[in-house]
Each structure stands twice: as structure tokens, then as C-alpha cells.
Amino acid sequence: VQLVESGGTVVRPGGSLRLSCKASGFTFNIYWLSWVRQAPGKGLEWVANIGKDGSEQFYADSVKGRFTISRDNAKNSVFLQMNSLRVEDTAVYYCAREVGATDRWGLGTRVTVSS
Amino acid sequence: EIQMTQSPSSLSASVGDTVTVTCRASQGVNNYLAWHQQKSGEPPKLLLYAASRLETGVPSRFSASGSGSEYTLTITTLQAEDVATYYCQQYYSIPWTFGQGTKVEIK
């Protein structure tokens, strides 16, 4: 099982960014996927998750209306579109697989929001 | 939102000791409770799920128990490689939430 995130970079406040996560080693379309972030020196914060066929999405209040999670089962990929970025969105963003519990994590991609 | 509170925030123990971490939820989570280990510079790793079920490949010195809103993680015979931060996570009610973490160090 592998989850490989990409797309993290430095972006200005108010800017947008799209993170990608490419999965391999398992049957992608039977699992919920999620994004979890970790601000520098802080704990883990669940951001969003998406159902097996993409028809259901849930978000943390802190990102609702600004972030959108989506998936492409044909490409074994999940995405996080982040708009109206704020300084407090600075974090390592992890892609994760859910089986109820979060059972597999990617290595993460770093997003820095700074002017 | 269910709040998860871990105690202690950090602990220092000797190799071979038994250590216990407690996780308290602001309401019952019906055993939908997982424990993750995060070593410095690495992503988290699932240790246990469903309150007490050991993930495949995790050493048996890790165990967990609890019910309702109170859960514990126990590491028996602490090893040097267990230095890490441990997080509880409830997956009973969205938004999933994590405890603030317990940092385990070797004395």
C-alpha cells in the first residue's frame, strides 16, 4: 500500500493550491480517503474525507467552503483543492486511507501560506 | 464535535517500564477509537483500532482497552524504538478528531 502526495509549495494568503495523492497497492475504489494536516509542531487535524464513488464528502468547519476534496477512481487519485488560503492553513498535509479507522498514511506534502 | 483529551501530554520512562496513556472523549465513541504512533519526521502509523484490536505487524507489547468515553493505551516493556508521540482518534462521529498527543521519551 502506498499513498504519495504532491503539490505542496509556498503560496500567498488568499491564494489557491491543488494537492494530489496517488494510491497504489490496493483496490482504490472500495475505500474512503481523507486528508489530515499537521501544523508545524502541532497535532493532527482531520480536514476532509470522500466516499468510495465520490458522491459523499465531509469537511472540518475550519476549511468548509474553501477546500474541496475529489477523487478519480480511474487514476487511483484523490485531490484537495484549497482556495482562499490563510496563514493558519500552513501544515503538512497527509493523504490517508480509511477503513473506519485511518489505517494507512502517505508521507505528506508541505504547504506554507506566507506573504 | 467530539473533543479528545489525552493525558499526560508527555512522559519519560526507562527501557523495560510499562507506560499508560489515557484518552478521554467528550462523549461516548462506542469503541470507534484508534491509536496512532508518530515518530519524529515520519507520518503517523496505526497501532490499534476498535479500541483494542492490534493492527497487523504491530508488536504485542502495545495494547489498549476502554469503553464509552475512556480509553487507555499501554506499552509494556518499553523499548528505545517506542520513542514517539501517540495520538488517539475517534472515528465515531464526523469530524474525526484526535487527541493532542502524548510524547513518550526514554529516561
Indicate the residue of A102, A104, A106 with minimum beta-carbon distance to B34.
A102
- Give the integer Cα–Cα distance in Å for B20 and A45: 23
Question: By CA distance, what is A95's nearest residue in B?
Answer: B43
A61 touches chain B (CB under 8 A): yes
Q: What is the pLDDT along chain B (107 residues), one digit of tens a residue?
A: 999 999 999 999 999 999 999 999 999 999 999 999 999 999 999 999 999 999 999 999 999 999 999 999 999 999 999 999 999 999 999 999 999 999 999 99
- Give the integer Cα–Cα distance in Å for B24 and A76: 36
Residue A99 to chain B, least CA–CA distance (Å): 10
What's the alpha-carbon Rg for chain B, to the nearest Å? 13
* Distance, CA of A38 to chain centre: 11
Q: Which DSSP helix (H) or strand (E) runs through B34? A: strand B33-38
Question: By CA distance, what is B44's nearest residue in A?
Answer: A105
| Cβ pair A16, A81 in contact under 8 A | yes
Suggest the residue from A42, A62, A94, A102 to mutate for an interface test with chain B (most B CBs closer than 10 A). Answer: A102
- Give the integer Cα–Cα distance in Å for A95 and A104: 9
Which pLDDT does position B50 carry in this prediction? 97
| Cβ pair B85, B104 in contact under 8 A | yes
- A24-30 LR contacts (CB < 8 Å, sep 24+): A24/A76, A25/A1, A26/A1, A26/A97, A28/A73, A28/A76, A29/A53, A29/A73
Q: Write out chain B residues lying below 8 Å of A43, CB-based.
A: 87, 98-101
Which pLDDT does position A57 carry in this prediction? 98
